[in-house]
A and B are shown apart, each in its own frame.
Chain A
Amino acid sequence: MQVFRQDKKRWREFLIRLSRSAELIAPVKTDLLRFEPITDPEQIYLEKNAYFPLKEWFFRKEEVIFQFTGNKLTVPAFTAPKQRIFFGVRKCDLNAIRHQDMVFINDVGDPYYKAQREHSLLLGYHCNTAPSQYCFCGSMDLVDFFDLMFYDKEDYFLIEVGSDRGEALIAEHHDLFEQHNRLITQDEKHIPGADRLKVKDIAHLYDNPGWKEGVDKCLSCGACTALCPTCYCFEFHDETKLADPQSGERKRFWSSCQLQDFTRVAGDHVFRKEREERFKHRIYHQLDYFREKYGIQMCVGCGRCIEGCPTRIDFVDIINRMERPEKKEA
């Protein structure tokens, strides 16, 4: 893939131009680090990865699936947002989008998700070192998935092109880039300090007593699934109009496998009633079940579920110690 060079002065100019023609969304530090629309590149904060993932921009928290009047359904028009450019997206989050694309676009062709994904350009930002102590993306099978990837080299960026749309964007602003005559090496792509998870396959560990440590510290609050960039479970609710209870909207909301209500079915039966079953279900879906269906692990190793957990349950550490109990830490 082609590589370009851009010094940081021109990078600012580049982003200012982008923000004029499209909605530019990048990590901003408020109380926590989150992706927000920006107008000034000075707002961008790149020291750490965002606390909240990018998924809410595509798989929205609340989505009207259809309106109904009696038995008559109307699907709302898919008004795709105007061109959106995401800057500062890390490798884990880019792959998370790829995994959600597999589910929502390739598998089921979800038009609501698709409408959000269209007209979105993904400009990545490479982590020179693991930005958080909880990162473990190096243990997962991540691939290059971006329109442009920015490698931070102190005074300048090296920019790797990942798609035709990325290339077109550079062509459009060619005065701000220089051709670079070497490729990005595998060494440069490596993120040091991010290969914490030592176990590749956890299928045989399901009945291991080691899980208890995590379950005992789990509140089933669902913070892990809300902050996860790949978790995509949802539920539906009908909201009827007060003036006419026969008409209303069916809406899709985020849900969480950590809740008893998530598996509550007719007759009030709950499939995963025990906390342990729910706790393990998330981890097994991330590392095992998804692979059975799609061939890769769903988890991208961003570590948000650990950083955002009220009790900091480190499932990576728990799994590692199950496989090598002799290395038990205090």
Chain B
Amino acid sequence: MIKETTRKKGRADANPSKAKPLIGVFGITGCAGCQLSIIFNEDDILDLIDLVDLRAFPFIKEVNPEEHFDICIIEGLVADKGDLERIKKLRGNSKMVVSLGACACTGCVPAYRQFTLKENYEHLLYQKMEEIQDVKPTPIDAHIKVDYYIPGCPPDKKQILAFIKGAVAGRIPKPYDSPVCIECRQNGNACLLDVGKPCLGPITAGGCDAVCINGGFECWGCRGPTKDMHLDLMIDILRAKGFDDRFIQDRMRTFVGLKLPMLEKVMKKTSEVNVTFKGMPAQRGLP
């Protein structure tokens, strides 16, 4: 307790006259990993709680009113009727809504079943629980207006902090729209495409510090395509590396399928032209 008072005393309050922004953090259908990413900011979490008024965070708090938010951060995607009602209510009670994580931003893995026929998964759905009513799995911006996106599966914990800091100071950070390759090469990694791994870094927005590739694991594109992606070339490269169309399509759809509605068309278009790459290593590694 004594420690707590000293810590608070030593710091000048940035803007004492201004009320702290009211923040709510909610999860709908999802794994809660993105909410966990907020908590992973262990060294900063006490300062964070001083900076904002954490009104609701059911994951870690007992009392959680669901109204009057300046910023409402939502994790997960809409997969049943309850989710839908909940986010509509939250939207109505919030000045700003933020999608946290790949499910909320792009649909992520749970939305993958949109690309298959219902009979392929129907038997896997909850059959006997009436309170769970299945709807088409969709990211939250398919239903409500979203003001800011923090993508990633899971999102980068520093990016969450940067957003909250920025929002408090009135300088919301600009979304990161450069490919993963930028940070990857700057980190001194070898290109995984060169060793035959199906890395989607060149068409995927970074901001993650290329964390997967730093660990030797190829990019699956969880943060969504860049605005400037060269999709047809990416497909041609993967084909030249020996990956078949089924594999390429599945891989690209795993995290951000809903953000690539043109994929089938582009695959068809590019399959009509045989592109060759002079000098590019073509060996296929283990997928």
A residues contacting B by CB (< 8 A) are 31-32, 34, 51-52, 61, 216-223, 226-227, 239-240, 242-246, 254, 256, 259-261, 275, 308, 310-312, 314
Contacts and interface: CB of A to CB of B under 8 A. Distances in A.
B11 interface: yes
Interface of B: 11-12, 14, 44, 47-48, 50-51, 161-162, 165-166, 168-169, 177-179, 181-182, 185-186, 188, 190-191, 193-194, 201-203, 227-228, 230, 233-234, 237, 277-280
10 contacts: A219-B230, A219-B233, A220-B179, A222-B178, A222-B181, A222-B185, A242-B161, A246-B14, A259-B178, A260-B227
B169 A245 contact: yes
Contacts of A221: 179, 181-182, 185, 201-202
A260 B175 CA distance: 13
B237 A310 contact: yes
B182 to A, nearest CB: 5
Contacts of B44: 242
B277 A245 contact: no
Given A217-B277, A244-B11, A275-B230, A259 B190 contact: no
Contacts of A216: 233
A311 B280 contact: yes
Nearest to A310: B193
Contacts of A239: 162
Nearest to B178: A259
Report, nearest first, the 3 A-B pairs whose CB atoms are least far apart.
A221-B181, A226-B185, A312-B279
Given A217-B277, A259-B182, A275-B230, A243 B169 contact: no
Main secondary structure of the interface of A (DSSP, over half): loop
Contacts of B190: 31-32, 51
B171 to A, nearest CB: 8
Contact of A223 (B161, B181, B228, B280): B181
Nearest to A219: B202
Nearest to A329: B278
A254 B278 CA distance: 30
B185 A243 contact: no
A308 B277 CA distance: 14
Contact of A260 (B162, B165, B177, B277): B177
A176 to B, nearest CB: 33
A114 to B, nearest CB: 22
A221 to B, nearest CB: 4
Contact of A240 (B169, B181, B230, B280): B169
Nearest to A224: B185
Given A34-B188, A220-B228, A312 B182 contact: no
A226 B48 CA distance: 35
A274 B162 CA distance: 30
A312 B177 contact: no
A297 to B, nearest CB: 23
A290 B87 CA distance: 54
Contacts of B47: 242-243
A311 B227 CA distance: 20
A11 to B, nearest CB: 28
B66 to A, nearest CB: 26
Contacts of A308: 185, 191
A260 B230 CA distance: 13
B280 A310 contact: yes
B182 A219 contact: no
A132 to B, nearest CB: 12
A116 to B, nearest CB: 17
A201 to B, nearest CB: 26
B186 A254 contact: yes
Contacts of A226: 182, 185-186
B39 to A, nearest CB: 15
B240 to A, nearest CB: 9
Nearest to A245: B169
